[in-house]
Amino acid sequence: MEHTVRRIIAVAAVGLLAVGLSACGRQTDDASSGSKAANVKGTIGVAMPTKTSERWIKDGDYIKQQLEAAGYKVNLQYANDDIPTQVTQVNDMVTKQNQVLVVASIDGTALKGALKEAKDAGIPVIAYDRLLRDTDAVDYYTTFDNLKVGKLQAESLLAGLEASGAPKPWNVELFAGSPDDNNATFFFNGAMQVLQPKIDAGDIKIASGETNFKTVATLRWDAAVAKKRMENVLTKSYSKADVNGVLSPYDGLSRGIIAALKGSGYGSGGKKLPVVTGQDAELESVKSILAGEQYSTVFKNTRDLAQATVTMITEIAGKKTVTVNDTESYDNGVKKVPTQLLDPVAADKSNVKDILLKAKYYTEADLK
Ligand code: GAL
């Protein structure tokens, strides 16, 4: 433990040196202050994956607002889920000598080259929500407890199945996220820790037989891909029986899955929609939950994640010890990345409105 703490301080020290160095070289940002103080507030590069999902728009907005309020400039970029675009954006942040990089990757391993440039230029890198893999050029990680997210999804699936009154064995189908996103494995493994014993006990039946992560994964978290797979599974395995539950790791996929189910007659004429889980509390899905369609979601307050990240940046710039609460869970293939983990919260029709209004994540009017 002592070793770990020392290591964190050492990493922080390297980062600070880097900030100091890059601050010296940054003429436009520093010109106004006329000082080379370590606590200089320059431009922070923020690389986000896509605007097609509402959550990343919120993440970007919150980080920008909070950094600007703390006196930084922000270079916020979205990459339309296109890997080469994100590589170019991160390279550009390095060329411009942005002070710290915050990166939510599309493919966790695709930025290795660009991140090496950042490291060589002495720019600290924070992986934001998604771990940057196979590189030593990542200093810190801010995210939610991803294994717990998966567990919450599975527990909520079981609670919904129990409440549905459907007789056992329950027919369940499994979906996972994008295989190039480290989180997808964590969500799936967390969920399977809860579901596997039920499968082994014969309480849950996967009629498609598709239980392997690679088979159930959904490239780029694409709703259309999940919809197509759900349609195929329904055709192949549910001509006689009904599906009772679907493990979905993300609201966008849940909506694609529900569209496929509705297209096949579920949700009308006495044929109940199955219990479908989700994640992110996206507005459309929250409305679907309130309307009794999607069963649940997992709320991750992205304002808090932005806050944790901005705290890290100010600690790095202010030569303070960087706040982390997990130094073991996130091995990126090269190193264990010191992480600040936040707590995800399960929500269903019974409490979703309450939770989101209390967190001021949405207003009453949003949820109408
Ligand atoms: C994951 C993230 C989830 C969800 C998903 C799709 O990396 O942790 O919350 O947003 O991407 O965007």
Task: Say if residue 293 is in the same domain as residue 305.
Answer: no
Tell me: pLDDT of 73 over 70: yes
Mean pLDDT of 279-293: 98
Distance 250 CA to ligand 1 centre (A): 7
pLDDT for the residue numbered 187: 98
Looking at the domain assignment, is residue 350 inside a domain?
Answer: no
Mean pLDDT of 60-86: 97
Tell me: pLDDT of 125 over 80: yes
pLDDT for the residue numbered 319: 86
Task: Say if residue 208 is in the same domain as residue 294.
Answer: yes
Ligand 1 atom closest to Cα of 55? Answer: 10
Looking at the domain assignment, is residue 365 inside a domain?
Answer: no
Q: How far apart are CA 356 and CA 243, in angstroms?
A: 30
> Which range of residues forms the domain containing residue 97?
7-138+301-342
Task: Say if residue 151 is in the same domain as residue 294.
Answer: yes
Task: Say if residue 215 is in the same domain as residue 129.
Answer: no
Distance 241 CA to ligand 1 centre (A): 32
Average pLDDT over the chain reads 91
pLDDT for the residue numbered 139: 98
pLDDT for the residue numbered 80: 97
Which band of pLDDT confidence, cut at 50, 70 and 90, is reported for residue 107?
very high
Residues 6+ apart with CB under 8 A from 346: 152, 153, 155, 156, 296, 297, 298, 299
Mean pLDDT of 85-89: 98
Q: How many domains does the chain have?
A: 2
Task: Say if residue 174 is in the same domain as residue 284.
Answer: yes
Task: Say if residue 207 is in the same domain as residue 309.
Answer: no
Distance 155 CA to ligand 1 centre (A): 19
Mean pLDDT of 294-303: 98
pLDDT for the residue numbered 5: 43
SS3 47: strand
Tokens standing for residue 296: 């649940």
Looking at the domain assignment, is residue 325 inside a domain?
Answer: yes
Distance 160 CA to ligand 1 centre (A): 23
pLDDT for the residue numbered 38: 54
pLDDT for the residue numbered 2: 39
Distance 246 CA to ligand 1 centre (A): 18
Does ligand 1 lie within 6 Å of residue 297's CB atom? no
Tell me: pLDDT of 54 over 80: yes
pLDDT for the residue numbered 240: 94
Q: Per-residue pLDDT tens for 12-32?
A: 444 444 444 343 333 333 333
Task: Say if residue 123 is in the same domain as residue 208.
Answer: no
Task: Say if residue 288 is in the same domain as residue 325.
Answer: no
Does ligand 1 lie within 6 Å of residue 144's CB atom? no
Which band of pLDDT confidence, cut at 50, 70 and 90, is reported for residue 39?
low
Q: Which residue's entry shows tokens 């759900």?
A: 230
Amino acid, single-letter form, for residue 220: R
Does ligand 1 lie within 6 Å of residue 181's CB atom? yes
Ligand 1 atom closest to Cα of 300? Answer: 9
Ligand 1 atom closest to Cα of 53? Answer: 12
Tokens standing for residue 288: 């679907």
Mean pLDDT of 132-139: 98
Looking at the domain assignment, is residue 232 inside a domain?
Answer: yes
Q: Whose CA is nearest to atom 9 of ligand 1?
A: 280
- Is the entire prediction scored with pTM above 0.75? yes
Tokens standing for residue 355: 């939770």
Q: Which of 48, 153, 189, 250 to mutate to test the pocket of ligand 1 (most atoms within 8 A of CB)?
A: 250
Which band of pLDDT confidence, cut at 50, 70 and 90, is reported for residue 337?
very high
Does ligand 1 lie within 6 Å of residue 129's CB atom? yes
Looking at the domain assignment, is residue 71 inside a domain?
Answer: yes
Task: Say if residue 167 is in the same domain as residue 294.
Answer: yes
Does ligand 1 lie within 6 Å of residue 220's CB atom? no
Distance 103 CA to ligand 1 centre (A): 13
Nearest Cα to Cα of residue 174 among 197, 146, 208: 208
Looking at the domain assignment, is residue 347 inside a domain?
Answer: no
Distance 294 CA to ligand 1 centre (A): 18
Distance 149 CA to ligand 1 centre (A): 11
Looking at the domain assignment, is residue 202 inside a domain?
Answer: yes
Looking at the domain assignment, is residue 46 inside a domain?
Answer: yes
Q: Which residue's entry shows tokens 């949700």?
A: 267
Task: Say if residue 16 is in the same domain as residue 51.
Answer: yes
Residue 121's Cβ-side half-sphere holds a number of Cα atoms within 13 Å equal to 26
Task: Say if residue 209 is in the same domain as residue 70.
Answer: no
Tokens standing for residue 357: 């209004």
Distance 53 CA to ligand 1 centre (A): 9
Task: Say if residue 318 is in the same domain as residue 288.
Answer: no
Does ligand 1 lie within 6 Å of residue 280's CB atom? yes
